[in-house]
Structure formats: structure tokens, C-alpha cells
Structure 1
């Protein structure tokens, strides 16, 4: 049975939450206060600059957001598509539908239309697939956490990521989107990952790239078959 996407569902992507990018925390607090009304939330991946359940430093650093998401998940349906910065999340979010990379796309229905949802880093070269398996390997991550004395590994990762420039205009993105649409057997394709916030129609197949919350300060609301970008 397919997941049904509700009218007024909200999609949020690529907030890359850290001490500089606070938009995801602001968004969650607005949902909690009902300033943003939500019955169904889709987190499209890379919501944190980095987190995995094995990385104790990052779990502790992001505990406030983890608590907020878990609180919201008691009354709101939340679907979390793991990205390339946030994975092995199931134990952190017991009431959230967490979808691993290898199980993406998630197939859903919206008004009798078939919808494929993924973070956007699938259908990639074999070398990247191998890399993804290595960095998600639980024994390896547990070992790295064990030798992470004074959090020196975690802090190196954190401060390397925080310096990265992740917001830019992707020239030729329409060409990439057209190629990616061909990978999916669906009427609509919804992805994050690329930080572009653009929509295209290719031979009656609709491609929607959810904007990056940290770059565009926008999330997306599905209303009457329109993907409406909303300023945070």
C-alpha cells in the first residue's frame, strides 16, 4: 500500500543545520507553536549538517532538534528521507517514517498520481554507491566513535563542514533534472539535494526540486496540485 500525500503537505529540504544555519530550528519551533500549520511533513534529507545515530558528539549537539522532531511526530505524520549528511536515523526518531537511501525513491500517491520521493543522491555511479555504504557502515562508525577522544574527529568534521559554501546556481540543472526524471516510473518526482528550488515538466512528467531551507529560506507547501514556495 502506498503512502498518501495529504493536501497541504509541507516539504523541507537541505537545511544543513549547524550553529550558522539556524533555519531548521526556527521552522520546527514555528510548527510547534502552530504558526506554521502542518499535518504531514516531509524532510527531504540533509536536514542536519551531519548526524548519525552512532556519532554521539553530533547527537548531543543536535539534541534540541531531535527532541522537537520527536515531540512533533506524536501529532504530525513525519517522513524523513535520509540524505548524504544524515543517515542511520531510525533509532533517533521512533515515531518517524525514516527512509534509507537504499529504499529510495519512496513511492506515494497524490490525487491518484504516482509520486516518487528521494533525497536526490541515488542513481549515481558505482563508486559513489560504494562510498555511501562505507560511510553508513555501523561497525565502522561505532569504531570511529570509540576512538574519537575529546571529540577530535567529530570536531574536525563539524568545522570543516561549517566552512563549506553550499549555495549556488546550478548551471545546466534542467538537463540534469530531465535525465533524472527518466529514472523514475512515476507522474511526479520530488527531490532535494541540489538546492535549486525549481520545477520542470518533461513529457507530462513533473520534476520538483525542493529549495534548500538554509540557502533560500523557503519550504514548499502542496496545495491544489501546486508546489508553493513559502518564505520562512
Structure 2
């Protein structure tokens, strides 16, 4: 898969949207009103605190946000890289380009620069990869949805996630970024997942970790050399 990144493209990552973290709703409303403008939107994963295409409770909880994304996708190009909190999304977003974890990183171009884009939970140990395969299994999720009487399972997951502290920073970002760069063969690497909101240059490669929208209240435009724009 090949993408051409437009100059006004916006990248949003890790908003972990729920009833307490409303930043993504605010962002979408600013897009709808024209206060924030772009012709291309990259949703970099973990946009919702949790959602899967098979689980009724989380679809109902987030229907308004789903509708807003679909409305925007009528007028601008939306690319959604599935994360570890949001997956099996194709049926929810018919006009959005959905990129599953197994198809990441995706190759893109920005001017003359080559770019690789991923949510970030790739190049990981085998046991994490196995876990990711299991939790994305369509039939397993359908069974769990069937057994979710009165949404007891979903509500347990929901209230566990809503209390989780996700706004922590790593102590040595540069060492982390240097190791991440080794997995890629492009001029620019763009990831979310780690909530850092920092960049690192090594061996003529630029690594950028997009900030968490809910933690840093920022999104990014590649044209601004990854200077965050406040929500």
C-alpha cells in the first residue's frame, strides 16, 4: 500500500476517547465547523478507549463519534491505522481507509521523503503478537458479544479502562527511539502508541512519536516539522 501525504495533513493519536476524555470530540467538532482545516486526516490508533466492530456495547457508547468520522469522510480523506484499543473497524467506517495492524507499517511519500507510518505496537515479541491475533479474532469477539448479558463484560472493561492512568512519559526517549529506527528503512518514521510527543534524528532518519491527544491536547501536521498544534 502506498499513500501520498498532503501538505495540510493532520495526524491524531491516542485520544482514548471515553466519557471522561472528550478531546477527540472537541477536535472533530472543530473540523466540522471549519475552525481546524485539512484535506487529509490520519487517525493513528487508540482513538477510542476501546472499540471493536463486533462488540455492541462499545459501538453504542461511541455512535456519535462514529457518525462524526463518517460525516467527515464524505469531504476529506481519512486514514485510520488500527491500534491495540480499536480494531476490526471496516464495517463501522465504510468510506475510511482502514489499515489493520498486520498491514502496518504503511509506506507513504511526503514530497521527496519516504515515510513509514504505524500505530506503534509492531516489531514486538512473539507472545504480544499472539495476544493481538487472539483479541482480534472475529469469531471469538462474536461469542463474547453473545455472552455479554446486560453488558456485564463490556462494562467491566469500560470502567477498568476509564480509571487507567495513561499519561506517563518514558525516562530515556532517545534510546527508545534509536532502537525503533532500526526497524524501518525510510527517511521519516511516524508512530503513536507511546504517548511521547517527541522526535529524534539518527542515521539520517527522523523518528516522530505523536503525542496523545488526551494527555498533551495536541495534534500534528507534518508540514510544521512536527510542531504540535494545540487543540
Same fold (TM over 0.5): yes
Alignment match, 1:51: 51
Q: Take 2:206 and 2:223, find their aligned partners in 1: how far apart are those partners?
A: 15
State the shift of 1:173 in Å. Answer: 2.0
Alignment match, 1:156: 156
Q: Take 1:178 and 1:79, find their aligned partners in 2: how far apart are those partners?
A: 27
What TM-score do you get using the length of structure 1 for normalisation?
Answer: 0.98
Structure 1 residue 24 and structure 2 residue 38: aligned? no
Q: Take 2:97 and 2:2, find their aligned partners in 1: how far apart are those partners?
A: 13
Mind listing any 5+ residue stretches in structure 1 that lack a counterpart? none
What TM-score do you get using the length of structure 2 for normalisation?
Answer: 0.98
Alignment size in residue pairs: 231
Deviation digits for residues 9-60 of structure 1 (CA, Å, limit 9, x no counterpart): 1000000000000000000010000100010000110000000000100001
Q: Secondary structure at the match of 2:229?
A: strand
Alignment match, 1:227: 226
Q: Take 2:222 and 2:4, find their aligned partners in 1: how far apart are those partners?
A: 13
Q: Take 1:94 and 1:105, find their aligned partners in 2: how far apart are those partners?
A: 21
Runs of 4+ more than 2 Å apart? none
Any residues of structure 2 matched to 1:72-111 within 5 Å, and which?
72-111=72-111
Mind listing any 5+ residue stretches in structure 2 that lack a counterpart? none
Provide the alpha-carbon RMSD of the alignment.
0.8
Alignment match, 1:124: 124
Any residues of structure 2 matched to 1:209-228 within 5 Å, and which?
209-223=209-223, 226-228=225-227
Q: Secondary structure at the match of 1:199?
A: strand
Q: Secondary structure at the match of 1:144?
A: helix
State the shift of 1:207 in Å. Answer: 0.2
Deviation digits for residues 49-75 of structure 1 (CA, Å, limit 9, x no counterpart): 000000100001000000000000011
Structure 1 residue 172 and structure 2 residue 172: aligned? yes
Deviation digits for residues 68-118 of structure 1 (CA, Å, limit 9, x no counterpart): 000000111011000000000011101101100000001000012110000
Alignment match, 1:144: 144
Alignment match, 1:190: 190
